C-alpha cells in the first residue's frame, strides 16, 4: 500500500511501514509542510492512505466535501507505539482502507467511518 504520512506522525511509524515494504511519503522529508488541503488532495490523487493525528482532515472530508483518501488518525498514541499500532490497523482493516474509510485509533478505542458515497 501507499502512505502519505503527515508531519505530526513520528518516524517510528514511517520506519515500521517501510520495513514492511510499503511505499511511504513523509511530509517532513520533503521540506516545509504544504498545508492540509495540499496534503489531502495529494493523498487522494495518488491513492495513498493519509496518516495523521490532526482532526482537520476528517472535517475537510465530512464537512467540506473534499475528495477523500483513506485516512488513519492516531489519537494520543505515543511516538514509539505509532508504528506498531499503525501496522496492526493496516493488517486488520485493509478492506476498510481500500474503501477509503476514516479510521480513528486511540489507546483504547477504534472508530471506523466510511466516506459517504
pLDDT digits (tens, 9 = 90+) for 18-46: 999 999 999 999 888 888 889 998 999 99
Residues above pLDDT 70, as percent of the chain: 93
Domain that holds residue 12: 2-113
**Is the separation of the CB atoms in 39 and 4 below 8 Å?**
yes
Residue found under cell 516545509? 32
How many structural domains comprise the chain?
1
DSSP type of residue 27: G
Measure the CA–CA gap between 62 and 3, rounded to whole angstroms: 21
pLDDT at 17: 97
**Is the separation of the CB atoms in 75 and 27 below 8 Å?**
no
pLDDT at 94: 95
pLDDT at 96: 94
Q: What is the CATH number of the domain that holds 29?
A: 3.40.50
Q: pTM score, two decimals?
A: 0.91
Which residues, given as ranges, of the chain have pLDDT below 70?
Answer: 62-66, 115-117
Amino acid at each position: 500500500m501507499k502512505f502519505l504520512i503527515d508531519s505530526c506522525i513520528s518516524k517510528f511509524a514511517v520506519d515500521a511501514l517501510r520495513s514492511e515494504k510499503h511505499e511511504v511519503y513523509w511530509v517532513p522529508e520533503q521540506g516545509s509542510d504544504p498545508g492540509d488541503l495540499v496534503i489531502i488532495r495529494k493523498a487522494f490523487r495518488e491513492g495513498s492512505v493519509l496518516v495523521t493525528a490532526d482532526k482537520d482532515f476528517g472535517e475537510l472530508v465530512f464537512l467540506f466535501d473534499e475528495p477523500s483518501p483513506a485516512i488513519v488518525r492516531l489519537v494520543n498514541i505515543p511516538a514509539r507505539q505509532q508504528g506498531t499500532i499503525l501496522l496492526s490497523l493496516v493488517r486488520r482493516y485493509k478492506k476498510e482502507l481500500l474503501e477509503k474509510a476514516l479510521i480513528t485509533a486511540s489507546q483504547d478505542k477504534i472508530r471506523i467511518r466510511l466516506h459517504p458515497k
